[in-house]
Amino acid sequence: MSLFKKRKAFDEEEYVEAAEDERDEDEIDEQDPEREEGESEERETENVRKTESEVDDEDEDDEDEEDEKPRRKKKKKGFPVGSLIFMFLLVGVILAAGYFGMEYYEQLHALNEQYDAAREEASAELAAAQAEYAEADPDAPSNVAVREELTEKLLAEAREKVEALESEEAELDASISENEEAMHEIEGKEGFDYYKAIYDEYVEGREYVEDLLSGD
Amino acid sequence: MRTFFRVINSIFFTVALIAAAFCGYMVYSVMHYPQAEHDAEIADIKSQTEKTKTDTTAALEEGEERLAFLQADLRNLGDEGVELADRGESLQTEVEAKQLRLAELEANVALGEDMPGSVEKARKAYADKIRELEEKVQNGETSVRICYWTLDDGPTYITKNFLDALDEMGEHVHVTFFTANEANNSPDEEEMLRREMTSGHSVQNHSYVHSTLASGSVYRSTESFREQVQQQDDWVYSVTGFHPTIFRFPGGYHSWGKDLLPGALDVLEEMGYKWIDWNCNLYDAGAEENLPTSSLEVTRALTQIPEEPIAVMLGHDWNMNTLVAMKTAIPRLMKQGYVFLPLFPESVTMGMNAKR
Ligand SMILES: [Zn+2]
C-alpha cells in the first residue's frame, strides 16, 4: 500500500472524529470565545490536516465526489453522548457511594461510640466495685487496724474487769476476816446453835412456801 | 471534547472507585461489625464486676466474722486474752464463793448479835409467805391444800415419838403443839419443847394446868384465865426463849370458853394473843375406854380433811393411837396435795370456830 493510501485510510477514520470534535467545539466556541485560546493549537493541527485533505480532495475530486456526502453525515453525529452518560453514571455512582458510604460511616461511628460508652460505663462500674472490694477486704490495712483497735479495747476492758475483781476479792477478804472474828465471839455465845437451828428452819420453810407459791 | 471527557471520566472513575471502595468498606465494616466481640468484652467486664461485688459481700461477711470472733471470747485475743480470761474466771469463781461465805457470815453475825430478834424476823417472813399461800388456796388459785395438824396437851412421855415420826415424814412436815405444862408431865418436857422449836414446829399456849373442872378451872374467872395463859407463856418463854402467840382453849372455845367465860377473848386480846379452835377432829381425847382405834382415827382424818381447803386438825400427843394414825394419814394426805405447815398468828385461820 502506498503511503498516500495508508494516510487516506487513517484519515477516513481520524477525520470523522476530528470533524465531529471541530463542529462541536465551534458550537461551543460561539458561545464561549475564551475557550478558543487553549484549543488554538489543536485547531492548527486540524487545519493542517484539513489543508492536506483538501489537497487530496482536489486530486480526487472527480472520483470522490460521491463519497463526500456520507462522510459529512458521519461528521454531524460525532458528539460523545456515551461519555456524557458515562460521566453522569460515574457522578451518580460517586454520589450514591458517597451517600451510602457516609451513611454507613455514621452507623459505624455510632456503633463505636455506643460500645465505647458501654465499655466505659462497665469499666467505671468495675472500678467502683474494685474500690469497694479494696475497702471491704478484711486484710486491708484499715480493716486490720479496726481489728487491732477492737482487740486493744477488749483487752483493756478485760484488764479493768480483772482489776475490779481483784479489788472486790480484796474487799471481800477483809469483810470475811472481820466477820469471822465477830463469829468467833458469837459462836461462844450460849444458845447460838439452838437459835441458829430455829432460824434455819424458818428460812428453809419460807423457801419451801415460796416454791409452792411459784409452782402454780 | 473527547479528551476532556476522557480526563473527566478518568478522574470521576477514580473518584467513583474510591467512593465505591469507601462505601464498600463502610458497608463491610458495619455488616461485619464485631458486635459479639464487643458484647463479650463488656459482658466480661460486667461479670468481673459481679464477681468483685460477690467478693466484696464475702469480704464484708468475713470482716464481720473476724470482728465477731474477737468479740465472742476473750480467749480469741491472743496470749494476753487467754491469760486474762483464765484469771478473770478463777477470780469470778473465788469472788462468788466469798460472797456466799460473807453473806452466810453476816447472817450469822446478825443472828448472833440479836438471836431472838433475827429468828423472829425469819419467822415473820415465813408466816407472811404462808399467809400468801392461804389466800391463794382460798381464792382457788392453786392446787395446793393446807393442813394445820395440831397436837394438844403436851409435852408428854411420847412427844419424842411424835417428833421422831414427823422427822421421818420429811423435812417439810410441820405441826403445831398447843402445850400445857401440867396436863401431862414427863422428865424430858423442856427438852421436847426446845426440840419442837428447833424442828421448825410451832409451840403455842394451851393454858398451864389445863383444868376445866371445879375449883382449879381455867374458866373460873378472867383473872384465873389470865393467870393460866400468862403462866404457860412464862414457862414456854423460859424454856424456848420465845413467847407463844396463839391460845387454844382447853376443851375448845366453842364448847367451854365461850359459855363459861364470856370475857376470855378480851383477855387474850389484851395479852396480844390470837386463838383458834379446829375444823377437823380425831376425837382422840376422853375416857380411855371410849378412845378410837388408830384406824378409826385414820378414817376420820382422811374423810374430814379433804373437805377443807385449809384444815385444822385436832389431835393429842399423849394418845399412842394418834401417833400411829398420824404416821398413816399424813403421807396419804400429802399425796392428795396437802402440805403440813406450822400455825402462826398471821394465819387466816385465827379465830376459827370449830365445826366439829
Ligand atoms: Zn387439851
Chain B environment of A205 (Cβ under 8 Å): 126, 172, 174, 200, 341-342
Query: Looking at B113, B144, B166, which one is the last position of a domain?
Result: B113
Minimal C-alpha gap between B306 and chain A (Å): 19
| Residue range(s) defining the domain that contains residue B24 | 2-113
First to last CA, chain A: 150
Let me know whether B253 and B328 are in one domain.
yes
Let me know whether B164 and B99 are in one domain.
no
- CA-CA-CA-CA torsion for B150, B151, B155, B161, nearest 10 degrees? -110
| CB neighbour class for A96 (10 Å; exposed up to 12, middle 13-18, buried from 19) | middle
Do the Cβ atoms of B95 and A165 come within 8 Å?
yes
Let me know whether B153 and B283 are in one domain.
yes
Cα B168 to averaged position of ligand 1 atoms, centre (Å): 26
Cα B244 to averaged position of ligand 1 atoms, centre (Å): 16
Let me know whether B164 and B133 are in one domain.
yes
Among the partner-chain residues B41, B60, B88, the one whose CB lies closest to the CB of A136 is B60
The per-residue pLDDT string of chain A (216 residues; one tens digit each, 9 = 90 and over) reads: 445 455 555 555 555 555 555 555 444 444 544 444 444 545 544 554 554 444 444 444 444 444 555 555 555 567 788 888 888 888 888 888 888 888 888 988 998 898 899 999 999 999 999 999 999 998 999 999 999 999 999 999 999 999 999 999 999 999 999 999 988 888 888 889 999 999 999 999 999 999 999 985
Give pLDDT, residue B214.
Answer: 60
- Residue B11: give its domain's CATH number: 1.10.132
Among the partner-chain residues A87, A122, A189, the one whose CB lies closest to the CB of B8 is A87
Please, are residues A163 and B87 in contact by the beta-carbon 8 Å criterion?
no
Q: How many CB pairs under 8 A join A and B?
A: 260
Q: Distance (Å, rounded) from C-alpha B43 to C-alpha A209?
A: 76
Beta bridge partners of B204: B178
Q: How many CB atoms lie within 10 A of CB A68?
A: 11
Chain A environment of B118 (Cβ under 8 Å): 195, 199
Let me know whether B189 and B308 are in one domain.
yes
Minimal C-alpha gap between B335 and chain A (Å): 15
Let me know whether B102 and B194 are in one domain.
no
Do the Cβ atoms of A151 and B78 come within 8 Å?
yes
- CA-wise closest residue to A199 among B347, B247, B125: B125
Beta bridge partners of B11: none
Query: Looking at B85, B113, B141, which one is the last position of a domain?
Result: B113
pLDDT along chain B (356 residues), means of 10: 82 85 86 87 92 93 92 90 93 95 90 92 98 97 96 97 97 97 92 98 95 75 93 97 96 77 91 96 90 96 95 97 98 96 97 74
Chain B environment of A183 (Cβ under 8 Å): 105, 108-109, 112
Chain B environment of A215 (Cβ under 8 Å): 142, 144
Let me know whether B176 and B239 are in one domain.
yes
Let me know whether B141 and B68 are in one domain.
no
Q: How many residues does chain B have?
A: 356
Let me know whether B341 and B317 are in one domain.
yes
Minimal C-alpha gap between A76 and chain B (Å): 15
Query: Looking at B57, B83, B113, which one is the last position of a domain?
Result: B113
DSSP B81-98: HHHHHHHHHHHHHHHHHH
pTM of the model: 0.63
Q: Domain tally for chain B?
A: 2
- Residue B267: give its domain's CATH number: 3.20.20.370
Q: Distance (Å, rounded) from C-alpha A102 to C-alpha A5?
A: 57
Which residue ranges make up each domain of chain A? 3-77, 84-136, 142-214
ipTM of this predicted complex? 0.79
Among the partner-chain residues A97, A136, A195, the one whose CB lies closest to the CB of B22 is A97
pLDDT digits (tens, 9 = 90+) for B226-248: 999 999 999 999 999 999 999 99
Determine the residue type at B242.
F
CA distance to A58, A216, B173, B265, B317, per residue, from A212 (Å): 161, 7, 14, 34, 28
Let me know whether B49 and B103 are in one domain.
yes
